[in-house]
Structure 1
Amino acid sequence: MRIAVLGGGPGGLYFAYLWKLRHPDAAVQVFEQNPRDATWGFGVVFSEQALEFLRADDSETVDAITPRMESWRNITLNLHGQSVEIDGVGFSAIGRLELLGILQSRAAATGVVAHHGTPVQSLDQLAGYHLIVAADGLNSLVRRAHESDFGTSVSYSSNRFAWYGTTKTFPTLSQTFVGTDRGTFNAHHYRYTRGMSTFLVECDDTTWQAYDFANRTVEESKTICEQVFSATLDGHPLISNRSVWRNFPWVWNERWSRENMVLIGDALHTAHFSIGSGTRLAIEDALALVKALEMESTLRDGLARYQAEREPVLTKLVRAARASGDWYEHFPTHMRLGLMDFAYSYITRSGRIDDARLRAMSPHFMARYDASKAARRHE
């Protein structure tokens, strides 16, 4: 079987590696437009048990990645100079380039042939492959070429964000909400190595307009963000890597395959960065596709099984990501709440956590939340 994988991100690399590992006679080639050592952004974060969802199927990859990750058990929220920790919410992070390097090496060791710096301009270049796996991200060539067949829908959040790094490290995944005389900002920040953190800055459209970011250079925007978050950064600079302002894109497809082409990862769907699941979902897609293809005798049936079995799970996660994204679109309004009510609104925003689960997961936070409610009743 000859397989072409478009896109050398985590999802594409993992599919290529896993298929070649299980099917050594297959010819698997990855086509990635960027150089081998290039990537956009800084660290990537995994919610809950990091890569433990892979252990039953691929413990060796889990064991290769997890020692290189930074992990923590709490979330810290900072609002108007006050802070609260929400206990029991585990996350892990790793540098995106480091993760890609691990997956690149594992794929190469199995015999996968990777073509870096090789953009595919037309699907005609892929004639002769039995299967084309579109792991080519938000601007997927495969998806754009057949949007009506895939039933593609794309919309955008009204908020803007810019993805920076910083040498300031943080003990937990943190969210800092800041009001200025011209608007409101939020920063999602977490360490991904001992000396570096991701620092993603977000603002609502009203603030973006007030600061005239449309007419600012990347450097000017970075300087403004350093000033807004000067107390959080504590003298450390922001580091840019194509850190332009963007609207988060919501991508969904009603049909996941067409003939011998199939979508995974951001080419298929997006999940808001606030739930920390984008990279995990891409890797899970790759695993689900491998399993579905192995369980059927024809490619057509395997691709149909992939969607039938994966879609119900993915739909729930994307729905939660939508709810989380909607909360962030209204974060200036939420900032009017007191610290504990704000924190409760934040942690329950996706609709997946009710009071019973929150009490079991975060007993210290809930004790503080209950005490704040009791104190208000007696005022």
Structure 2
Amino acid sequence: MRIAVIGAGPGGLYFSYLWKKRHGDAQVDLFEQNPAGATWGFGVVFSEQALEFLAADDPDTVEAITPWMESWRNITLNLRGENVEIDGVGFSSIGRLDLLRILQARAASAGVLPRYGTQVTSLDQLAGYDLIVAADGLNSLVRRSFEGDFGTSMSYSSNKFAWYGTTKRFETLSQTFVKTRLGSFNAHHYRYSRDMSTFLVECDLSTWQAYGFADKTVEESKAICEQVFAATLAGHALVSNKSVWRNSPWIWNERWSFKNMVLIGDALHSTHFSIGSGTRLAIEDAIALTRALEAERDLEAAFARYQHERQPIVKKLVSAARASAEWYARFPEHMKLDLIDFAYSYITRSGRIDEARLRAMSPAFMARYGKRSQA
């Protein structure tokens, strides 16, 4: 089978690697418009559950990734100069470029030869391929070319965000909420290497407008964010990498395939940075698609199996992401709460964690929460 994979992000690389590793005689051509060393953003996060899922299917890749990862067991929330830790919430992070390099090496070891710097501008370029896997992200050419056939819907969250890095090291995944004279900001920050951290700044539309960010350059915006979070950064600067203000998109497709084309990752669905599942979902999509193709004798049946088995799982995560995003859309209101009540509201925001689960998962925090409730 001749397979064209568009997009050498985590999903495209991982599908190419899996298929070529298991089917050495297959032709897998991986097209990527950017150079091999180019990436947007800084660190990406995996939950313990996500790593366990990947390890069950491909322990060798987890073994290759693990030495590059930073891990922690708690989340730290900072509000009005106070902080609280929520224990038992395990995550690991890795630099996005480090992850891509590892997956590139895995793909090469299986015999995949990616075509970097090769932009697919028309699907006519892919005539003759038996299967086209669209792993080409939020602006997917395949999806945009057949939006009606895929049943695509797209909308955007109201909050604005800019994705920075910093040399300031944070010991856990942390959130810092700051109220200023002109509005409120939130920063999502966590280390992804020994000397670098992600620092994603978020604000609501009214704050964004009050600061005039629409008319600010990238450097001017960065300087304002450094000033707002001066205490958190403790003398460290923010690092920009295409760090323009964006709205988080919501992409969904009712039909995951059309003709010989199939969508995975952000081309298929988007979540929200507040639950950190984008990379996880792309890799899990690649695993699910591989299994479906191996289980069925023709593409139509394989595509049907892929969507039938995978869609309910994705819907749960997307639903949780939407609930989380709705909480962030009102985070200035939540900031009025007492610190412990604020933390409880935060950790239960997606609807996936109730009080019973939280008591089992985070006994230290819940003991503090119980004392607060009894006071």
- Whether 1:282 aligns to 2:299 is no
Determine the structure 2 residue equivalent to 1:7: 7
| Correspondences of 1:50-199 after superposition (within 5 Å) | 50-199=50-199
Superposition deviation, residue 78 in structure 1:
0.3
Whole-angstrom distance in 2 between the partners of 1:188 and 1:152: 30
Matching residue of 1:231 = 231
What amino acid does structure 2 have at the position aligned with 1:40?
Answer: W
What does residue 304 of structure 2 align with?
304
Checking the alignment, whether the CA contact within 8 Å between 1:176 and 1:187 is kept in structure 2 is yes
Query: Could you tell me which amino acid in structure 2 is paired with residue 282 of structure 1?
Result: A
CA contact (8 A) 1:253 1:268 kept: yes
Cα distance between partner residues in 2 of 1:56 and 1:371: 40
Paired with 1:24 and 1:180, the residues of 2 have a C-alpha distance of 58
Q: Find the residue that maps to 1:175 and give its secondary structure.
A: strand
User: Using a 3 Å threshold, how does the CA distance of structure 1 residues 324 and 268 change in structure 2: closer, same or farther?
Assistant: same
CA distance in 1, matches of 2:343, 2:73: 16
Distance apart, 1:48 and its partner CA: 2.6
Distance 1:75 1:374 in 2: 24
**CA distance, structure 2, for counterparts of residue 55 and residue 229 of structure 1:** 37
Deviation (angstroms), 1:299: 1.1
1:213 Cα deviation from its structure 2 partner: 0.1
Q: Are 1:51 and 1:66, in contact at CA under 8 Å, matched by a contact in 2?
A: no
Classify the secondary structure of the residue corresponding to 1:273: coil
Residue type at the aligned position of 1:243:
S
Give the AA of the match of 1:145. S
> Residue deviations 1:192-215, cap 9 Å, x none?
000000000000000000000000
Once the 2 structures are TM-superposed, how far is the Cα of residue 49 of structure 1 from its aligned partner? 3.7
Q: Report the equivalent of 1:219.
A: 219
CA deviations 1:313-340 (Å, max 9, x no partner) are 1111110011001100110110111101
Cα distance in structure 2, aligned partners of 1:66 and 1:247 = 32
What is the CA-CA distance between 1:57 and the residue it aligns to?
Answer: 1.7
CA distance in 2, matches of 1:243, 1:77: 24
Give the TM-score, by structure 2 length. Answer: 0.99
Q: Residue by residue, what CA displacement relative to the aligned partner does 1:90-115 show, whole Å, maximum 9, x if unpaired?
A: 11000000000000011011111201
Query: Counterpart of 1:141 in structure 2: which amino acid?
Result: L
Q: Name the amino acid aligned to 2:319.
A: R
Q: Report matched runs for 1:303-322 at 5 Å.
A: 303-322=303-322
Secondary structure in structure 2 of the residue aligned to 1:272: coil
Aligned to 1:356: 356
Distance 2:217 2:356 in 1: 48
Q: Give the alignment's TM-score, normalised by structure 1.
A: 0.98
Read off the aligned partner of 2:261 and give its amino acid letter: M
Residue pair 1:162, 1:243 contacting (<8 A) in 2 also: yes
Does 1:32 pair with 2:32?
Answer: yes
Q: Does 1:258 align with 2:292?
A: no
User: In 2, are the aligned partners of 1:134 and 1:140 still within 8 Å (CA)?
Assistant: yes
Q: Aligned pair 1:328/2:353, yes or no?
A: no
Deviation at 1:50, TM superposition (A): 4.5
CA RMSD of aligned residues (A): 0.6
CA distance in 2, matches of 1:226, 1:199: 11
Distance (Å, rounded) in 1 between the aligned partners of 2:362 and 2:148: 45
Q: Which amino acid aligns with 1:251?
A: I
- Classify the secondary structure of the residue corresponding to 2:280: helix
Instruction: Tell me the residue number matched to 1:246.
Output: 246
Task: Name the residue aligned to 1:45.
Answer: 45
CA deviation after TM superposition for structure 1 residue 67, in Å:
1.8
Aligned partner of residue 31 in structure 1, secondary structure: strand
Letter in 2 for 1:274: S
* Letter in structure 2 aligned against 1:146: F
**Amino acid across the alignment from 1:228:** V
Q: Match of 2:44, SS?
A: strand
1: distance between equivalents of 2:104 and 2:155? 32
1:203-218 to structure 2, matched below 5 A, reads: 203-218=203-218
Q: What whole-Å deviation, never above 9, does each CA across 1:186-233 have from its counterpart, x for those lacking one?
A: 000000000000000000000000000000000000000000000000
Question: 1:324 is paired with a residue of what secondary structure?
Answer: helix
Q: 1:56 deviation in Å?
A: 2.2
CA distance in 2, matches of 1:107, 1:30: 10
Instruction: Specify every segment of 5 or more residues in structure 1 that has no aligned partner in the other structure, as ranges.
Output: none
Preserved CA contact (<8 Å) 1:47 1:275 = no
Partner amino acid for 1:118?
A: T
CA offsets 1:36-75 (integer angstroms, 9 cap, x no match): 0000000001123452211222111111011210000000
Q: Aligned to 2:290, what secondary structure does the other structure show?
A: helix
Distance across 2 between alignment mates of 1:321 and 1:70: 24
1:274–1:321 contact (8 Å) kept in structure 2: yes
Aligned to 2:19: 19
CA distance in 1, matches of 2:367, 2:95: 35
Q: Residue 50 of structure 1 contacts residue 92 of structure 1 at CA under 8 Å; is this kept in 2? A: no
TM-aligned CA deviation for residue 276 of structure 1:
1.3
